[in-house]
Homo-oligomer: A and B are copies of this chain.
Amino acid sequence: MQQEIIKLLKQIRQTDARNLYGKDFLLTWEKELPDIERVLLVAEALQLLRQSNISTRCFDSGLAISIFRDQSTRTRFAFASAANLLGLEVSELDEEKSQAAHGETVRETANMISFMADFIGIRDDIYLGEGNAYMREVGEALDDGFRQGVLQQRPGLVNLQCDIDHPTQSLADLLYLRHTFGSLEALSGKKIAMSWAYSPSYGKPLSVPQGIIGLLTRFGMEVVLAHPEGYELLPEVVSLARDNAGRSGSSFTVAHSMDDAFRNADIVYPKSWAPFRVMEQRTELLHRNDRPGLKELERQCLLQNATFKDWECTAERMKLTRNGEALYMHCLPADISGVSCETGEVAAAVFEKYRIQTYKEASYKPYIIASMMMNMGFEEVAEVLEEMWKEESPRKLHY
């Protein structure tokens, strides 16, 4: 462990990350490659220290606020775990129990909850065009509050999933890929199929596929986005992925066949999402609280989805991948045919084969979130890690 941590600390010091300390983490593409690398390295250092029973509480007290505008299990627990790992207590803003719904402005609420907040994590992925904008509105209110002396500290924002990106997911996925393939460099030239897959539900957010194509096109990979026609992602993210690919020696293509995407893929990521145009309509209907309209939209979408039931990650299809052994990824929970639904995103046998690996994929998220927080909160993050390592204060007393 000693050598590993020394090596990690050295690598952390060498990464010239300039967009983390004192900045929010809202979109991976607002960060430079050294920032991304630093987040991965610090996540690994935190994991290593915890595995060695060394306390990583760099805060003695302080709050990590969470705002969940959608259901969540794993991100909720990942955030709670990350906060606890650093010594912070989670305090959740439950908008139903608060006065926030009653005409209180975002800028006011943002300040009112932040007097002792070091970080605020936000999930807001239901309304297309609004989730990320809401985070920025909160961020501006915090900037203003801090500048004007309302807040003693400017809490850092962590995007826990919005309408555009899901950075804690895509970075956990990237760290998982690095572990699986040995290094970021080893990802170069690897083909990943980020593919739409059938699900008997509708309205799933776009942030995961968008996050994946927006991030992995920066690492020299061959990224194929596959979906039936009509299931487009946000055009600006697709365009950004294309630009990324141009700059980084990656390639980025859009396919309308799952088979094409899977062919010779090293990695497949089959996952359902709603067409962005549907998400736009849904946003409007939700705003008008138009229940019949929403019901009708759902009916239509499910009907449309049903014409693409063959977009399933089956054992047969997996045979098309590199040596029939591509790595299957998923952000979970997956819609598993015959398990959680009749027909879904993935055949039971395929999922079962990779089940434990998807759990490991998920296991990086708490460390990614904790790393984001540490990098936002401490300029000299290597020094803080080194101090904690040398202190050797046990997380759990033992003999």
**A290 proximity list for chain B (CB < 8 A):** none
Residues B71 and A61 in contact, CB atoms below 8 Å apart: no
Closest B residue to A111 using CB positions: B359
Interface size grouping (class) on chain A: 35 or more
Residues A148 and B77 in contact, CB atoms below 8 Å apart: no
A343 beta carbon closer than 8 Å to chain B: no
**A340 proximity list for chain B (CB < 8 A):** 102-105
A3 beta carbon closer than 8 Å to chain B: no
Residues B61 and A115 in contact, CB atoms below 8 Å apart: no
How does the 8 Å CB contact mask read for A204-236 relative to B, with 1 for contact and 0 for none? Answer: 000000000000000000000000000000000
A interface list, Cβ under 8 A from B: 50-51, 55-63, 65, 68, 71-74, 76-78, 80-81, 84-85, 87, 89-91, 93, 97-100, 102-105, 108-109, 111-113, 115-116, 118, 144-145, 148-152, 332-333, 335, 339-341, 356, 359-360, 362-363, 365-366, 377-378, 380, 383-384, 387-388, 393-399
**A150 proximity list for chain B (CB < 8 A):** 356, 359-360, 363
Residues B77 and A113 in contact, CB atoms below 8 Å apart: yes
Known contacts A115-B366, A144-B356; 10 additional CB pairs below 8 A are A60-B393, A60-B395, A62-B84, A63-B77, A63-B81, A65-B77, A74-B99, A80-B91, A84-B89, A103-B333
**A77 proximity list for chain B (CB < 8 A):** 63, 65, 91, 93, 112-113, 115
* Complex alpha-carbon distance, A77 and B77, angstroms: 20
Closest B residue to A87 using CB positions: B61
Can you list the 6 inter-chain pairs with the closest CB atoms, starting with the nearest? Answer: A103-B340, A73-B98, A81-B116, A104-B333, A150-B359, A58-B397
